[in-house]
Structure 1
Amino acid sequence: MTLYRATDAADTMNLAALLIAEYCHRTGMVLNTLASYLQVRQEHSRAAGPREAEPNEVAGMLGAPLPPADDETAQTWSSWGSGYAGASRAVR
């Protein structure tokens, strides 16, 4: 049920962002600027399922070791570190 509610909230926030974007477009915002504010390059469909980064995020939140991977990039370590730090703060 939590996952259902989280995706419902994400859809609602997406709708709100698109309504604000339409307002900005109608009031004269340049499309390239609008696209950058909408962060369209970061868009990821939930239908594609979890990406490779999600297991690393979960490991970081749980304070568990990173799952084995072929390519451990700085982004992976950064994600793990931020997840671990957030989980540590939440536990306190």
Structure 2
Amino acid sequence: MTTRISPTLVRLDAGSDRGICCAACGHVLSPADSAGHWKDNAVLQTASVAQLPGWSAAVHPDLVLRQFVCNGCGHLLDSEIALKEDPFLYDSVSG
């Protein structure tokens, strides 16, 4: 059974590929038996927010844009803005 948990992620609950997967290609990012989170297994790209177009030079220099990309197909899965030293923002899925 496949359950969509976001526009870019699905949860597979049957077969050998159980876990959180990329909705675009089906690549398993976090197996069902894994204690980790899918963001820990995705490709991480970061950029300084102050250097991005449209942002003021007054933005804190440690603020970064994090982009989590599927290591199977390169599809953008999620993004967040945080301080460099902050942990990833993990979403919880219930049900």
Output the TM-score relative to the length of structure 2. Answer: 0.22
Q: Which structure is higher in helix share?
A: 1
Larger radius of gyration: 1
